[in-house]
Amino acid sequence: MSMLIQVVLDGIWSGLLYGLVAAGLSLIWGVMDVLNFAHGEFLMAAMYVSFWLGFLFKLDPLVTWIAAGAFLFILSVLSYKLVVKRTMGKAMAPLLATFGLSMLIKNFAMNRFTPNFRILSDTVMDGKSIIFGEVVIPVPQFVVGIFSLVVLGALYLFLTRTRFGWAVQATAMDAEAARLMGVNTERIFLLVFGIGGACVGVAGGLLPSYLATHPDIGTLFGLIAFMVVALGGFGSIPGALLAALIIGLVESLAGFYFAPVYKYVAVFGIYLVVILVRPKGLFGW
Amino acid sequence: MKRTLLAVVAIVLLIAGAGAQDKVIKIGTLFPLTGSVATAGQRCQAAVETIVDIINGIYPDLDLPIAKKAGLLNGYKIELIKADHQGKPDVAKSEAERLYEQEGVFAVIGSYNSSASKPASAVAERLQKIFMCGASSSAALTERGLQYFFRLAPTDRIENVEFAHWIEELNKVKAAGIKTAAVIYENTEFGKHAADEAKVVSAKMGVKIVADVPFTPGATNLNSEIQKLKAARPDALFAAVLGADYSLMIRTMKQSAWKPKMAINYCGGYQDPKIAEQMGKDGWGFMGSAGYTPEFGSRFMKAVAPVEKYYKAKVGVPFDTEKVAQVLRTTTFDSPLSMGGKVQFGPDGQNIKAASVISQLQNGSYVTVYPYEFKDGDPIFPMPNW
């Protein structure tokens, strides 16, 4: 029994992390119809920010997530201005452009920082865990989970309870109509892209407390984030959270009770089934 | 591993150099320069480049004939053409084709990942070109009946025999009571074969395998993997885990508050001093095989000289793959670079003199613990808890 609780909890932590990583992607897609292919690399960039601050100035990821979030906000805004804005509305163009951007970021990291794995040791949360009898709760994953809930909650409230959030929703539904109603859609796009990047920045800022940083780290996370977004319904924050939890739990349960090597098979399998049965995703419209 | 590569490259270059028509010999390197095992690939590449620099340049301070003059024999220079297979078998195949067919290299040195060496060396075989394998440990590679494939490094099978002796020794000397074991391995050519060998060897010793855990390399987490191991409560853990996955494995073990009595690693993340340094205390106590420790390295430079002299006399032949391969097949080379002290290729292309020792990471340094004639410290057993 305690094993089941352990496995379910592990699934929840992974799920919450995936949710935090995917939130920005979902927001950007929902509002702008742009699939940011560089999302995984944004995560990697944030991890490097946090790693270097930790390595050079001995700052803990518990603090540097702020810097990583801010840096990613700026990086995202620049990406929007320089890449996305010029390609939006031209069929596949934004997709290909952000794909190019992902290559650029990844190879920049490879060139500047080498492909070495970089591990932050002696962080505040490093290797700590809370033990209840047989059940172990790893502190870093737990804290990332809390952050995920807070960030997703804040994002949801922001979108549904504020004037700016309504404007974002209006823009998402029909950008032209929103523009006619006096919404500055250009500003909305810019901020949405920035906020989306900042969300993944927070995730990336926290991750070096237990994950090695290297230029390839974003690839699988990026892929899972796409799945979360597609599964939850494009643009839906609660959908993303639910989908992320499903993916985390499927991964963990299949990994433990079936075979670890099939955990991603199970995850992608569920995804295929959902997409076949309900192409718009669980919460999509 | 790095030293083994140096030996590989020295031999290839010396032989190949003997008969080149023009004054440049092209040698291809095929390593994972990017991707999740890039650290190891970059180190392999650097090892090869080091010896090529020594051969091509003049290094009077080194006690080596090839260092004192530029180039080999009558001034043949080595030109390295490097290729990156990213740790992917399909890329390894196409890059090997490019190296041999388009770049026209004489031989390829590679490829770290067994899963990449396999298709790349198949290309070499088809084109009847030499493939020199330094650091791929899957025993299956030399069981394919290839004619142009030569491997210096010990295989996981050779290492396993040693692991078995070591565990029997621990059971005897330290009353270790190791009765059960678990295997965790990446689901690749390297991992699967290492795990198969571990199972064979465990059966022979009467150690029961209680968990068999393959995983997808480059995973976002190893939670279910470690939970599975923890639930099975093995005395010993065999691990075939590379690069970033290795650090993730140790971190996850620590977070799950679990440690077996002993953990022993096939070549991989454990051997990477960079990872060891970054993991700090968390990595201490783990053991693994090693093809190199500093004491052996200090004997390095003396080794290469007689090899060159030997080949100058022996191989006065044109730049011919068949003849070079013949020499490789029929000769025993001196090689204090490697633990075995000698290099001799069996009919399957495997270096039958390959050997390695078992080391344990203690207080930040790799201490050789077995076999006893090479040891420079006592094992810490069982592993201290987190």
Condensed to tens digits (0 to 9), the pLDDT of residues A251-282 reads 999 988 888 888 888 988 988 888 888 888 88
Is A283 inside a domain boundary? no
pLDDT category at B61 given cuts 50, 70, 90 is low
Supply the CATH number for residue A81's domain. Answer: 1.10.3470
Task: Kindly report whether the peptide bond that precedes residue B111 is cis, defined as omega within 30 degrees of 0.
Answer: yes
Is A285 inside a domain boundary? no
Give the domain extent around B125: 2-153+294-344
Least confident of A109-113, A196-200, A225-229, B291-295: B291-295
Residues B84 and B42 in one domain: yes
Question: Comparing C-alpha atoms, which of A44, A65, A45 is closest to residue A54?
Answer: A65
Residues B85 and B227 in one domain: no
Is A88 inside a domain boundary? yes
Q: Determine the pLDDT at residue B317.
A: 41
Is A74 inside a domain boundary? yes
Q: Determine the pLDDT at residue B18.
A: 47
Supply the CATH number for residue B201's domain. Answer: 3.40.50.2300
Q: What is the spatial distance between Cα A206 and Cα B168, in angstroms, rounded to a whole number?
A: 44
A114 contacts in chain B (CB < 8 Å) = 38, 42
Q: What is the spatial distance between Cα B289 and Cα B264, in angstroms, rounded to a whole number?
A: 8
CB contact under 8 A, A6 and B227: yes
Does B161 score more than 60 pLDDT? yes
Q: DSSP string covering B240-293, please?
A: E--HHHHHHHHHHHHHTT---SEEEE-SSGGG-HHHHHHHGGGGTT-EEEES--
Residues B335 and B361 in one domain: no
B282 contacts in chain A (CB < 8 Å) = 121, 127
Give, in order, the Cα–Cα distances in Å from B172 to each of A166, B168, B178.
73, 6, 10
Number of domains in chain B: 2
In DSSP terms, B133 is beta-bridged to B110, B151
Is B382 inside a domain boundary? no
Q: What is the spatial distance between Cα B301 and Cα B280, in angstroms, rounded to a whole number?
A: 31
Mutate to test the interface with B, among A4, A5, A114, A116 (most CBs of B within 10 A): A116
Residues B142 and B242 in one domain: no
Condensed to tens digits (0 to 9), the pLDDT of residues A149-201 reads 999 999 999 999 999 999 998 888 888 898 898 889 899 999 999 999 999 99
Q: Assess B364–A contact: CB distance below 8 Å, yes or no.
A: no
Mutate to test the interface with B, among A263, A265, A268 (most CBs of B within 10 A): A263
Is B110 inside a domain boundary? yes
Q: Once rounded to an integer, what is the mean pLDDT over residues A17-45?
A: 92
Q: DSSP string covering B24-71, please?
A: EEEEEEEE--SSTTHHHHHHHHHHHHHHHHHHHS--TTSS-HHHHSSS
Question: Comparing C-alpha atoms, which of B257, B353, B268 is closest to residue B11?
Answer: B353
- φ/ψ region of B168 (left if φ > 0, alpha if ψ in -120 to 50, else beta) reads alpha
Interface of B with A in 208-247 (CB under 8 A): 213-216, 218-225, 227-228, 231, 243-244, 247
Least confident of A16-25, A56-65, B297-306: B297-306
Distance in Å, alpha carbon of B58 to nearest chain A alpha carbon? 29
Condensed to tens digits (0 to 9), the pLDDT of residues B278-337 reads 788 888 888 887 765 554 444 444 444 444 444 444 444 446 777 777 777 877 876 655
Question: Comparing C-alpha atoms, which of B57, B214, B46, B40 is closest to residue B113?
Answer: B40
Does B242 score more than 90 pLDDT? no
Does B93 score more than 90 pLDDT? yes
Q: Assess A1–B contact: CB distance below 8 Å, yes or no.
A: no
Is residue B256 within 8 A of residue B244, CB to CB? The reply is no
Does B271 score more than 80 pLDDT? no
Q: What is the spatial distance between Cα B116 and Cα A270, in angstroms, rounded to a whole number?
A: 31
Residues B98 and B143 in one domain: yes
Distance in Å, alpha carbon of A98 to nearest chain B alpha carbon? 20
Q: Once rounded to an integer, what is the mean pLDDT over residues A215-224?
A: 89
Does A125 score more than 70 pLDDT? yes
Is residue B128 within 8 A of residue B148, CB to CB? The reply is yes
Residues B246 and B362 in one domain: yes
Is residue B302 within 8 A of residue B289, CB to CB? The reply is no
Give the domain extent around A164: 2-277
Does A147 score more than 70 pLDDT? yes
Q: What is the spatial distance between Cα B41 and Cα B27, in angstroms, rounded to a whole number?
A: 17
Q: Once rounded to an integer, what is the mean pLDDT over residues B18-29?
A: 71
Q: Assess B88–A contact: CB distance below 8 Å, yes or no.
A: no
**Higher-scoring residue by pLDDT: B10, A41:** A41
pLDDT category at B356 given cuts 50, 70, 90 is confident
Q: Determine the pLDDT at residue A22.
A: 93
Is residue B338 within 8 A of residue B3, CB to CB? The reply is yes
Residues B148 and B199 in one domain: no
Single-letter amino acid code for the residue at A224: I
Number of domains in chain A: 1
pLDDT category at A88 given cuts 50, 70, 90 is confident
Q: Which residues contact B13 (CB under 8 A, 6 or more apart)?
A: B25, B27, B51, B52, B55, B72, B78
CA B98 to chain centroid: 24
Residues B219 and B75 in one domain: no
Determine the Cα angle at A222 with ends A220 and A226, to 5°.
Answer: 115
Q: What is the spatial distance between Cα B246 and Cα B252, in angstroms, rounded to a whole number?
A: 10
HSE at residue B204, side-chain half, CA atoms within 13 A, is 14
Q: What's the DSSP call for residue B138?
A: -
Prediction ipTM score: 0.77
Residues B280 and B298 in one domain: no
Is B351 inside a domain boundary? no
Residues B190 and B84 in one domain: no
Is B350 inside a domain boundary? no
Q: Once rounded to an integer, what is the mean pLDDT over residues B334-344?
A: 69
CB contact under 8 A, A260 and B275: no
Q: What is the spatial distance between Cα B241 and Cα A176, in angstroms, rounded to a whole number?
A: 53
Q: DSSP string covering B94-124, please?
A: HHHHIIIIIS--SEEEE-SSHHHHHHHHHHH
Is B126 inside a domain boundary? yes
Q: Determine the pLDDT at residue B6.
A: 56
